[in-house]
């Protein structure tokens, strides 16, 4: 296992090479660099070295393909002030990761409000141009924006990553009907039945379907489940390998508490146990 300093240098060199103009690099070299980063993130994680700039933001932007920042548009949307969804946004932002002191110390509520208001103005302007609006503000967006605001060095970068993440990574999760979330919950039930029929039958016998116990974890890609540091590590993996794998990550969390779930005799105890473990 390489030391944190060695791993940092290795990842930093790959990132530096990846940021060079594609005109001077073969596509196979670029893909090889991405594969190496993904492999290292999976097997070693992203190191933090005192005195060195964090690598997580660079890796997330690379995986999201955020290589340009449109400052002018962002400032214009921010300057437009409260949106039509302002009351919904403010009803959610004050409770975003409310018990996480590390998050609260770095990300103020006005930062959440500013990012979400700007996003609403962005999708509203898209609607005015082509008479369609693929996204609307829905509850849960506040939690999805939190890791970006915590990780990125600027609010502009957080906004760019969040917008790309929503629009390209999980667009069905933020439909007014939350279609993607409901489909994900159905998939979770099917996967759990295959992975661990015994646990699935135990939960089903108490009418505990994924819709009941896993809705927040699926909707927020587990960002609602503390601690934040572990959320960031999980998102390192999801952004490298695909957000769809969150379903299996939720199942993995269930398997970690399987024995307790199997021994709980009543629906109430099962429900309390699941809630206590962050669902």
pLDDT of residue 128: 47
Please write the tens of the pLDDT for every residue from 129-160: 445 556 789 999 999 999 999 999 999 999 99
CATH number assigned to the domain with residue range 179-276, chosen from the 4 options 3.40.50.300, 1.10.472.80, 1.10.579.10, 2.40.110.10: 1.10.472.80
Q: Is pLDDT above 90 for 271? A: no
- Comparing CA positions, the residue from 117, 96, 114 lying closest to residue 228 is 96
pLDDT of residue 273: 75
CA-CA-CA-CA torsion for 121, 147, 134, 69, nearest 10 degrees?
A: 60
265 band by pLDDT with thresholds 50, 70 and 90: confident
Question: CA quadruple 32, 45, 225, 276: dihedral positive or negative?
Answer: positive
217 band by pLDDT with thresholds 50, 70 and 90: very high
Higher-confidence residue: 143 or 24?
Answer: 143
Q: Is pLDDT above 60 for 127? A: no
Q: What class has domain 71-169? A: mainly alpha
Same fold, 71-169 and 179-276: no
Please state, in angstroms and as integers, the Cα–Cα distance from residue 43 to each residue in 38, 39, 40, following that order.
Answer: 9, 6, 5
Percent of the chain that is helix, strand, coil (3-state, to 5): 70, 0, 30
Q: Is pLDDT above 70 for 26? A: no
How large a percentage of the chain has pLDDT more than 90? 79
Output DSSP code: residue 100: -
Q: Is pLDDT above 90 for 59? A: yes
Q: List the chain domain ranges.
A: 4-53, 71-169, 179-276
**115: which 2 tokens?**
């990012």
């Amino acid at each position: 296992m390489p030391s944190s300093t060695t791993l940092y240098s290795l990842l930093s060199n790959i990132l530096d090479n990846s940021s060079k103009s594609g005109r001077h690099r073969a596509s196979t070299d670029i893909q090889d660099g991405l594969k190496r980063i993904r492999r290292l993130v999976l097997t070693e994680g992203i190191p933090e070295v005192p005195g060195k700039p964090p690598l997580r933001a660079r890796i997330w932007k690379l995986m999201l393909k955020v290589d340009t920042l449109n400052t002018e548009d962002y400032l214009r949307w921010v300057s437009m002030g409260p949106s039509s969804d302002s009351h919904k946004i403010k009803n959610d932002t004050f409770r975003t990761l409310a018990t996480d002191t590390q998050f609260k110390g770095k990300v103020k509520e006005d930062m959440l409000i500013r990012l979400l208001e700007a996003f609403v103005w962005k999708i509203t302007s898209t609607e005015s141009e082509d008479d369609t609006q693929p996204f609307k503000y829905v509850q849960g967006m506040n939690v999805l924006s939190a890791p970006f605001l915590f990780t990125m060095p600027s609010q502009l970068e957080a906004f760019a990553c969040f917008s790309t993440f929503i629009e390209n990574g999980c667009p069905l999760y933020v439909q007014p009907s939350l279609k993607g979330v409901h489909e994900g919950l159905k998939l979770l039930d099917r996967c759990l039945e295959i992975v661990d029929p015994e646990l699935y039958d135990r939960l089903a016998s108490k009418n505990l379907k994924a819709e009941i116990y896993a809705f927040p974890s699926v909707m927020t890609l587990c960002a609602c489940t503390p601690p934040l540091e572990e959320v960031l590590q999980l998102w390192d993996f999801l952004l490298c390998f695909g957000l769809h794998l969150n379903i299996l990550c939720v199942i993995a969390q269930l398997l970690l508490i399987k024995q307790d779930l199997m021994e709980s005799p009543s629906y109430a105890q099962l429900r309390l146990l699941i809630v206590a473990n962050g669902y």
